[in-house]
Amino acid sequence: MASKPSLRTELLFNLAFLAAAALLLGVGTILLASTFAPERAFPLVLTIVALDVGIFIVFGHYIVTRHVLRPVERLMAVADAVVGGDLVARAPDAETSDFATLAARLNRMTDHLLDAQSQLVRSEKLASIGRLAAGIAHEVGNPLGAMGTYVEVLRRRGGDPEVVQGLTRELDRIDAIIRGLLDYARPREEPLQPIEPGAVLRSTFALLEAQGAFKPVRAALDVADGVPRVMGRGHLLEQALVNLLLNAVDAAGAGRGGGVVILGARRWAYEPGRAAPKRASDDGGIEFPRTPPRRPARSEFAAGLPGALLFVADSGPGVAPEDRERVFDPFFTTRPPGQGTGLGLAIVARAVHDMGGVVWVDPAREGGAAFKLFFPAV
Within the chain, which residue ranges are assigned CATH 1.10.287.130? 111-183
Residue 185 has pLDDT above 70, yes or no: no
The residue with greater pLDDT, 132 or 315, is 315
Could you report the per-residue pLDDT of 324-361, keeping only the tens digit for each? 777 887 767 766 655 555 677 888 888 888 888 888 88
What pLDDT is attached to residue 195?
94
Mean pLDDT, rounded, for 82-100: 80
The residue with greater pLDDT, 39 or 51, is 51
What pLDDT is attached to residue 37?
64
CATH 3.30.565.10 fits 192-376, yes or no: yes
- Mean pLDDT is lowest, of 74-88, 133-147, 149-163, 195-209, for 133-147
What pLDDT is attached to residue 196?
94
Mean pLDDT, rounded, for 171-190: 68
| Euclidean distance between CA atoms 113 and 82, whole angstroms | 9
Mean pLDDT, rounded, for 68-85: 85
The residue with greater pLDDT, 160 or 303, is 160
What pLDDT is attached to residue 291?
42
Q: Percentages helix, strand, coil for the chain, rounded to the nearest 5? A: 55, 15, 30
Query: Across 91-100, 194-203, 268-277, which has the greatest mean pLDDT?
Result: 194-203
8 Å CB contact between 344 and 247: yes
Name the percent of the chain lying above pLDDT 90.
15
The dihedral over CA atoms of 267, 313, 124, 112, expressed in degrees to the nearest 10, equals 50
| Euclidean distance between CA atoms 282 and 305, whole angstroms | 25
Q: Are strands 260-270 and 193-195 parallel, antiparallel or unpaired?
A: unpaired
Q: First and final CA of the chain: distance in angstroms?
A: 36
Could you report the per-residue pLDDT of 235-274, keeping only the tens digit for each? 889 888 988 999 899 888 765 567 899 999 999 988 755 4
What pLDDT is attached to residue 286?
41
- Mean pLDDT is lowest, of 24-38, 67-81, 103-117, 269-283, for 269-283
Of 76, 60, 77, 69, the closest CA to residue 95 belongs to: 69
Residue 299 has pLDDT above 70, yes or no: no
The residue with greater pLDDT, 268 or 13, is 268
What pLDDT is attached to residue 304?
77
Residue 278 has pLDDT above 60, yes or no: no
Within the chain, which residue ranges are assigned CATH 3.30.565.10? 192-376
The most distant pair of C-alpha atoms in the chain lies apart, rounded to whole Å, by 133
Element (H, E) at 374: strand 369-376
Mean pLDDT, rounded, for 36-59: 74
What pLDDT is attached to residue 183?
64
| Euclidean distance between CA atoms 342 and 347, whole angstroms | 9
8 Å CB contact between 337 and 173: no
The amino acid occupying position 176 is A
Cβ partners under 8 Å of residue 104, min gap 6: 91
Mean pLDDT, rounded, for 192-203: 93
Query: Across 27-31, 276-280, 369-373, which has the greatest mean pLDDT?
Result: 369-373
| Euclidean distance between CA atoms 123 and 229, whole angstroms | 26
* pLDDT confidence bin for 1, thresholds 50/70/90: very low
Residue 275 has pLDDT above 60, yes or no: no
Residue 156 has pLDDT above 90, yes or no: no
The torsion angles phi and psi of 221, rounded to 5 degrees, stand at: -110, 130
Residue 125 has pLDDT above 80, yes or no: no
Neighbour tally for 378: CB within 10 Å: 14
| Euclidean distance between CA atoms 282 and 285, whole angstroms | 8
Residue 189 has pLDDT above 60, yes or no: yes
CATH fold of the domain at 111-183? Helix Hairpins (1.10.287)
| pTM of the predicted model as reported, rounded to 2 decimal places | 0.57
Neighbour tally for 29: CB within 10 Å: 18
